[in-house]
């Protein structure tokens, strides 16, 4: 450490398969002075797998306002710090955004080690047009907000991508089936993991598929834009896993 400030590096981590981490990500995590993690217990398993012994500290929604000033001070003193999330790319639907804004406002260096995320694999594997798309984050939990989001899809020409928790999936699929019953939908679960599954069909077909049992795993729901023919081989093809 010297007079120059340190750098904050956002490091993408695997969303399931540990082999998806990049060589550069491992090198950065070994070389920085501190790693910030959303869940230190979860991240410790990843770090142990790659023999990374860098000090680890928690950074999440419940402590970001309190600990961010101290992180900025450490960067100003010349320490290099990495931020990781539980899975995927930091700053996307997680507390990384708060830290990024604070570091930028302090005029400090920030960079990225890109890698795994759940949005692009689900989008591409859906078979829907992806030259232009909308990432809408986590689907709203409140029924009224969810209805407004689904209503807007009636005239949305671009493919739209949502995150959905297992507890929320049935509500999201029910809302889509009620408002857009014939719209093409794909639901991806456990991407890159042993039980990876992509279910494609109309909103009604995909809803009915998951209605047969409890939803397990993390989901990404992809909705084809209005006025576009379904991405399946035939327009009348049933939902497939």
| Each residue's pLDDT tens digit, 76-97 | 999 999 999 999 999 877 778 9
Same domain, 75 and 99: yes
Identify the domain boundary among 113, 133, 166.
113
- Give Cα 17 to chain centroid, integer Å: 15
Same domain, 178 and 127: yes
Q: Is residue 193 part of a domain?
A: yes
Residue 134, exposed/middle/buried by CB under 10 A (0-12, 13-18, 19+)? middle
- pLDDT reported for residue 237: 43
Q: In angstroms, rounded to a whole number, what is the distance separating the alpha carbons of residues 93 and 135?
A: 10
Output the CA torsion sign for 183, 142, 116, 43: negative
- pLDDT reported for residue 218: 85
- pLDDT reported for residue 239: 54
Number of domains in the chain: 2
- pLDDT reported for residue 233: 35
Same domain, 152 and 78: no
- pLDDT reported for residue 236: 37
Same domain, 16 and 65: yes
Same domain, 97 and 168: no
Same domain, 14 and 107: yes
Domain hosting residue 51, numbered range = 8-113
Same domain, 74 and 124: no
- pLDDT reported for residue 95: 73
- pLDDT reported for residue 133: 97
- pLDDT reported for residue 231: 43
Sites in the chain below the pLDDT cut of 50? 229-238
CATH number where 66 lies: 3.40.1010.10
Q: Is residue 231 part of a domain?
A: no
Nearest alpha-carbon partner for 120 in 105, 110, 130: 130
């Amino acid at each position: 450490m010297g007079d120059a400030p340190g750098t904050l590096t956002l490091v993408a981590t695997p969303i399931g398969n540990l082999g998806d981490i990049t060589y550069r990500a491992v090198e950065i995590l070994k070389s920085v002075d501190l790693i910030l993690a959303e869940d230190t217990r979860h991240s410790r398993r990843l770090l142990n797998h790659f023999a990374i012994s860098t000090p680890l500290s928690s950074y999440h929604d419940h402590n970001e306002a309190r600990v961010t000033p101290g992180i900025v001070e450490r960067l100003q003193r010349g320490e290099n710090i990495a931020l990781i999330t539980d899975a995927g790319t930091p700053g996307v639907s997680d507390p990384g955004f708060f830290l990024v804004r604070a570091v930028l406002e302090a005029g400090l260096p920030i960079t990225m080690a890109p890698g795994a995320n759940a949005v692009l694999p689900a989008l591409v594997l859906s078979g829907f047009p992806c030259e232009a798309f909308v990432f809408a984050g986590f689907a709203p939990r409140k029924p009224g907000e969810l209805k407004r989001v689904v209503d807007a899809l009636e005239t949305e020409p671009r493919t739209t991508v949502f995150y959905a928790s297992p507890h929320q999936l049935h509500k999201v699929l029910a809302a889509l089936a009620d408002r857009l019953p014939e719209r093409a939908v794909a639901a991806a679960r456990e991407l890159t993991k042993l039980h990876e599954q992509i279910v494609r069909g109309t909103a009604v077909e995909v809803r009915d598929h998951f209605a047969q049992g409890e939803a397990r795993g993390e989901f990404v729901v992809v909705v084809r834009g209005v006025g576009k023919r379904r991405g399946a081989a035939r327009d009348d093809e049933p939902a497939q896993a």
